[in-house]
Amino acid sequence: MKSYAIIAMALLVLSVMPMVMATSVGTGVGVSITTEQFTPRIWMCDNRVFEDDFIQNTEKAQKRANNYAFEGESIKWTVLVMDKNKIEEITDVVGTIGPSQGVGNDVEVECTRVTSTVKGTPAGNCNARILEENLTTFKSETMAYYDCELTVETPASMHGEYFITIEAMDSTGLSATMDENEYWFLNPTIALSVEGDLEFEDVRPGTQAYSQTLLLGNDAEAGSGVVLDMFMSGTDFYDPSSSGARCSDNTNKLALEEFKYFATNGQYSTAKTAITGKDDENYAPIPLGTAINQAREIIGNQTFANPMVKITPGNTLTPGAEMALTFKLTMPEPCVGDFSEGQIYFWGEAI
């Protein structure tokens, strides 16, 4: 009887021991994930172009080596824009101008998204990178190309020195510009200065007479850096009074062909250029015409309408520079009259 009681107590003790299972249920841990609001990136690609307006029948401005531009001329860029959130986040890609570098300048033109395939890789054509990461593959989900063309407006709205760049903006208000901000002087004032008078007094028929030397200068707006290619043309001359004048070709005019000139600018002069029609003193003839497209370089053989000919270095003037010109008149015999009605024109073309 005693032995049974002990066994029963042992069973009772076993019955109240806790159960041990193979798995258990724990408490949860909170997880927070946020996606970076990516600031747009924008890179200039390698097909940047400057174009003249071609109004004056010249292509020289396509190779302009200076940072000034005039009404009607334009600058073109192709840019690569990236938003790692998704390219649809980009709301505007625009050309801006302003007094300082960076975002927030005045918006002047809206760029157009390129729908056709752009050859090359982002890294190769656009130098696209984020820190040390080179972007070698174009991804249409996060990237797009845009064409931008900024045309210079009238001096009333664009005159002076500006930073010009392309800016990309997203739907959250974040924006960025190309690293390559450009600096341009828009619509600088161009002017020529002429010091001296072209006078021939009491010239005897059948003889030659020389003028005083004139100084022809580039009087462009200070700070603009405008380099001018210099041209000249002229008209025939007439006696403004009813005096019974008679001179060249037995009529009442003094023909422009009776005038010639000699010009110097640094080491260059009409003596060292291949101008057709020079005389034995290297005085050159003056082209007949009243417009720049009828003129010819003063020191050089290029006509304005032939822009593919290389510009003569000695024919250009920087702001404040001057070239010297002396004129010679061969007075026909017979000749009578005072021929003061006519013009010699000087022209300057920004290059």
Per-block mean pLDDT, blocks of 10 residues, the chain (351 long): 48 50 72 88 88 55 78 93 94 96 95 76 78 85 93 96 97 93 96 95 95 97 94 95 85 95 96 92 97 92 67 90 97 93 94 85
Of 152, 186, 220, the residue that ends a domain is: 186
Q: Is 14 part of any domain?
A: no
| 87 part of a folded domain | yes
The kind and range of the H/E element at 123 are helix 122-126
Q: In this structure, are 216 and 161 located in the same domain?
A: no
Are residue 158 and residue 212 in the same domain, yes or no? Answer: no
Q: Which of 148, 139, 130, 141 has its CA nearest to residue 45?
A: 148
Q: Judge if 173 and 221 occupy the same domain.
A: no
Domain membership flag for residue 127: yes
Instruction: Tell me, yes or no, whether 130 and 213 share the same domain.
Output: no
- 173 lies in some domain: yes
Q: Looking at the structure, tell me whether residues 100 and 201 fall in a common domain.
A: no
Looking at 169, 186, 203, the residue that finishes a domain is: 186
Task: Give the domain-ending residue among 186, 206, 229.
Answer: 186
pLDDT for 27: 78
**Residue 331's domain spans which residues?**
192-350
Residue 105 lies in a domain: yes
Q: Could you tell me if 250 and 161 lie in one domain?
A: no
Task: Tell me, yes or no, whether 181 and 197 share the same domain.
Answer: no
Domain count, the chain: 2
Same domain for 151 and 223, yes or no, is no
Residue whose tokens read 């890179």: 43
For residues 181 and 198, state if they share a domain.
no
- Burial of 339 by CB count in 10 Å (0-12 exposed, 13-18 middle, 19+ buried)? buried
Structural domain includes residue 26: no
- The distance in angstroms from the start CA to the end CA of the chain is 128
Whole-angstrom Cα Rg for the chain: 39
- Total residues belonging to the chain: 351
* Residue 103's CATH number: 2.60.40
In a domain, 142, yes or no: yes
Q: Give the CA dihedral 303, 306, 309, 314, nearest 10 degrees.
A: 30
pLDDT of residue 305: 62
Question: Could you tell me if 181 and 200 lie in one domain?
Answer: no
Do 222 and 345 lie in a common domain?
Answer: yes
92 inside domain: yes
The label of the residue with tokens 């021939």 reads 200
